[in-house]
Structure 1
Amino acid sequence: MSPDRGYQASFNENNQEFVIAGKLRPRSEDEIRPLAQSLGEALGQVKGTFYLNVKRLARLNNVAFRVIAGLVSQVCGGRPDLRVEVVTSSVMGWSTRKFLPLARLLPNVSVNEYDKDFYPGQSYLEEGGFIPILRAQTKLTWQHEKHLLPRHGLRPGMAMADVCCGIGDFAVLVQKELKPASILALDHSRSSLDYARKVAADFGVSGIEYVYGDASEMVLEDNQFDFVTCRHSLQVFDRPELILRELYRICKPGGRVYITNEKNSHCLGEPRAESIQWTYNEVARLWADYKMDIELGPKSRRYLIDAGFEDIRVDSFMVTNLDGDPQSFADIIQSWENVYAGEMARDRGDSPEFIARFRQGFQDHIYAALHPKGYAGWPIWAASGRKPS
C-alpha cells in the first residue's frame, strides 16, 4: 500500500498482525485515509490479540500518530475483550517512547520491544569485556580470510555491507587492504559500535559508515550491496534463517553474501587431547542451552541454499597456534574460558565440580598452544552464495 508515499502497510489475518513499514509523514489526515480505513477494518474483525507491528517504521510524524492512536483508542475503549500489542524495536527507540503513553492510558494496550532480548546469549557476547577476544580472533582469522574474500567475490570498488560488524576491526582491515568503494557496518550493540568508530579513527580509515540496527529487520533498502558479510554471527541467533533472509534482501541481484561460522566441538590440541575434546563438546551443549549453535559451520551450505542463494562456495580453515604468536591464540582460549566457564556456566547452574573440569580443558588447550612441540586448532567454515540475477 502506497509505496510511492514512502510507507507500506499490510494485514495478515492468520497472525492478526498489521504491519506498517517505511516512512509515515503525512501533511494531513486525508493523505493516509486508506491506511486508516485498512487499520480500522483489521481491528474490527479480529478477536483476542491484535498485533500492530511498527518495528520497521523509520519515521512517524504527529499527524500519523494521532490517526493510529485515535483508532486504537476508539476500538479498545469499546472492546475490553480485545488486546492490542504494539511491536516496536530498540533500533527505532522513538517508537517505543511514542507508544508507551498509549499503553498507560489503555489497560488492553501493551508495547513489546521485540529485540530487547534478541539473542538469548547476547549479554555475554556483546559488551566491553569481550572486546579483547574479538580483537585477537580477527587478528588470527584475517590471515586466512584476506585470501578467501576475493575467491568468494569481493572486488575493489564494490559497495559492501558488514552485518553484525561487532567492534569493527574486520571492516577496517577490508577497507584498508581490499579497497571496496564503501562499507556500511551494522550491529545491534551500541557499545560495540562506539568501539568500532574509535578503531576506524585510530587507523585513520574513512569510507565506513557505522549503523545501529537489528540484523533480522534492517531498515535498509532492497538490492543495495554488491557484497554482504556476516561473520561469526548466525551461530549466535536462535533463528539464523531470519538473518539470511535480510542478507539476501539487501544484496544486489548477482551479488554475493559471505558468512563464517564455527564448529567448536572440532577444536583440538595435542598434548592433552582427551581433556580438550571433552571441554569443547561441553561448549557446544552450553551454547545450545542458550539457544545458540556454535556447531553451525558445516551447516552453512544448507542454510544458504534454503535462503535461495546459488553458486554456493564453501571453504574451511583451521586457526592454529602456528598462525603467528602462540600467545595470541592462548589469549583467545583464556577469554573463552572466562566467559563460557565463568558467567555462562555459573548462570546455567553448573556445579563447582563440573566448572572445574570445564576450566581444565581450556587450560589444557592453552598448554597445547604454548608447548614447544604442541599443536592447537580452532576450525572455521567460510561460505558464500550468489543472489540470482
Structure 2
Amino acid sequence: MSTGSFSKPFSAAFDINSQEFSLTGVIRPRSVDEIAVNISMLKGAIDQVRGVLYINVKRLIQMNNTAFHAFVRVFLDACRARPDLRFVIVTSSVVGWTTRMFSHLNKIEPQITIEVYDSKFYPGQSFVEDASFIPILRTQTKMTWRHERTILPRHGMRPGIAMADICCGIGDFAVLVQKEFQPLRIVALDHSRASLAYARDVATGFGITDIEYTYGDASEMLLEDSQFDFVSCRHSLQIFNRPDVLLAELYRICKPGGRVYVTNEKNSHCLGEPRSQSIQWTYNEVAKLFSHFEMDVELGPKSRRYFADAGFEDIVVESIMVSNLDGDPQDFADVIAAWENVYAGEMAVKRGDSPEFIQRFRQGFQDHIFAALHPKGYAGWPIWVASGRKPR
C-alpha cells in the first residue's frame, strides 16, 4: 500500500498464485521516486512469473503521465529481456481511459495485449441490457413492490441510512425506496447506459434529484469499502456467471453491521392453472436456456448458501409469490408476454433451437398468460428475498 502525496490513496499488489499485479485508486506522483516501491514490486513480480503476467487496472481511477511512463518502461524493458513472457493488461469499459491509454502498447510490443474484462463478463448480458426490455421492467417492479415495501424493514431498511442499489436497472426501485423510506443517501449503479438514462428520466418524473445514478461494473465497483448501511441488488446475482464475485463486492462496500439485500428467482417454480403442464414444461426449459448462457434463474433458494460462503451473519431468507391477483392481471400478462419475446425469441434462436421447439416453448408462455387472464385462473411467479449482516 502506498499513498505518497496524492489526492487519494492508491495501492499496488501482486498475487503469485494468479500471476496478477494490480493497481487501484489514484496514482499521481510528482516524481517517479514517490512510486519507487511500487515499481520495485512490479519488477519483483516479473522475476517470479513464467508465461503470462496479468496487469489488473480495472479499479485504476486516475494515473498521470509520470506514473504511466514509469510503469510502461518496466513492461517494455521486460519484453526485451524476457521474450518468453507475455503481459495481459486487464481493463474495464467502466474506466474507458485505461483501455485507450494502454492499447497503443500492443502496436509497440506484441508481447503486450489488452483484455477488456467486462466485454465478455457474462454471455447473457446483451439480452438483459436490451433497451427494448426496459418498459416491462417498470411493470415488474410495480408488481413486486407491493410485497417488498412490507418486507424491506425486516431486512434492515430504515430512514436516514446510506444505501446503494447495485445493478439498479431502470432505477424505479431506488425511487420507490426514496419516497417510502427516505434514506439519507442513495447511490444507484448499473452497467447499462440505456437503463441509466431511463432511470434519470424516471427520477425526474417523480421530482427526485438526490439519487446518485452512476455507471459501473458491479463486479469491480469504483466505490470505497464499508460506506453503506444497506446494499440492495435485485434479480442480478442470477444473471452473472460468477454470483460469488458480485456478492463479495456487495459485502465489501457494506458497512460492518450493515445489511446486503438481494432478490432472485426460481423460474422452474413459475406456475399457473389451468394448463399447468404446458406452463411447467416451458419454465423448466427457461432454466435450461439461461443455464446455456451461464445464468442461473434457479438461484433463489441457493441464496442462503451464497451468503454463508461470503461471510455474512444473521442471514434471513423468505419467499414471495407474485401473482395475477396482485393488482391488474393484465400487468402480469404483459410481463409474461415480454419474457416470451426475449426468451423464446432472441435467446432460443441464438442457442440454435428448432422451430418446433420454439413453438412449444412459446405455447407455455401463452398458456401462462391465459391462466393469468382467466376469470378463475391463477398464475404465479416466485421470488426469493435474502439478506445478511456484515460482521462488525
**How would you bin the TM-score normalised by the shorter chain?**
over 0.9
TM-score (norm 1): 0.99
The answer for the alignment partner of 1:179 in structure 2 is 182
Q: Shift of the alpha carbon at 1:340? A: 0.2
Alignment of 1:76-91 (within 5 A): 76-91=79-94
| Residue 206 of structure 1: how far off its partner (Å) | 2.2
Note if contact 1:229-1:259 (Cα within 8 Å) is conserved in structure 2. yes
Deviations 1:249-304 (A, max 9, x none): 11111111100000010000000000000000000000000000000001111111
CA deviation vs aligned residue, 1:314-352 (integer Å, no higher than 9, x gap): 111100001011100000000000000000000000000
Instruction: Give 2:142's match in structure 1, choosing from 114, 125, 139.
Output: 139
In 2, Cα distance between the equivalents of 1:339 and 1:278? 17
TM-score, scaled relative to structure 2: 0.98
Cα deviations across residues 175-200 of structure 1 (Å, max 9, x unaligned)? 11111111000111111111111111
1:229-262, Cα deviation, whole Å (9 max, x unpaired): 0000000001100011111111111111100000
1:3–1:301 Cα change, 3 Å: farther
List alignment gaps of at least 5 residues for structure 1.
none
> Please, which of 285, 306, 331 is the counterpart of residue 288 of structure 2?
285
2:362 corresponding residue in structure 1: 359
Equivalent AA in structure 2 for residue 46 of structure 1: V
Paired amino acid for 2:356: E
Aligned length: 389
Match of 2:380 in 1: 377
Alignment equivalent of 1:324, drawn from 312, 327, 330:
327
The alignment status of 1:74 with 2:77, answered yes or no, reads: yes
Return the alpha-carbon distance in structure 2 between the equivalents of residues 326 and 45 of structure 1: 63
Q: Tell me if the contact between 1:140 and 1:324 (Cα under 8 Å) persists in the aligned partners.
A: yes
Counterpart amino acid of 2:2? S
Distance of 1:168 and 1:341 partners within structure 2: 26
In structure 1, what is the equivalent of residue 49 of structure 2? 46
1:105 and 1:133 map into 2 onto residues whose CA distance is 48
Identity %: 67
Report the counterpart of residue 251 of structure 1 in structure 2.
254
Tell me, which stretches of 5 or more residues in structure 2 are unaligned? none
Structure 2 letter corresponding to 1:314 = V
- The structural deviation recorded for 1:151 is 1.2
Match of 1:164 in 2: 167
Residues 181, 207 of structure 1: 8 Å contact kept? no
Report the aligned-residue RMSD: 0.9
Q: Which residue identity is paired with 1:16?
A: Q
Determine helix, strand or coil for the equivalent of 2:104. helix
What SS does structure 1 have at the residue aligned with 2:176? helix
| Aligned partner (choices 260, 264, 267) of residue 264 of structure 1 | 267
SS state at 2:280 partner? helix
Give, in angstroms, the shift of residue 86 of structure 1.
Answer: 0.4
Q: Equivalent residue for 2:230?
A: 227
User: What's the secondary structure of 1:373's corresponding residue?
Assistant: coil
Structure 1 partner of 2:2: 2
Measure, in 2, the Cα distance between the counterparts of 1:284 and 1:14.
Answer: 35
CA distance in 2, matches of 1:296, 1:131: 23
Superposition deviation, residue 133 in structure 1: 2.1
One-letter amino acid matched to 1:246:
E
Find the counterpart in structure 2 of residue 14 from structure 1: 17
Other structure's SS at 2:105 match? helix
Q: Is the 8 A contact 1:88 1:113 kept in 2?
A: yes
Partner residue of 1:208 out of 192, 208, 211:
211
Which residue identity does 1:180 align to in structure 2? P
Alpha-carbon separation, structure 2, partners of 1:377 and 1:14: 47
The amino acid of 2:364's aligned partner reads G
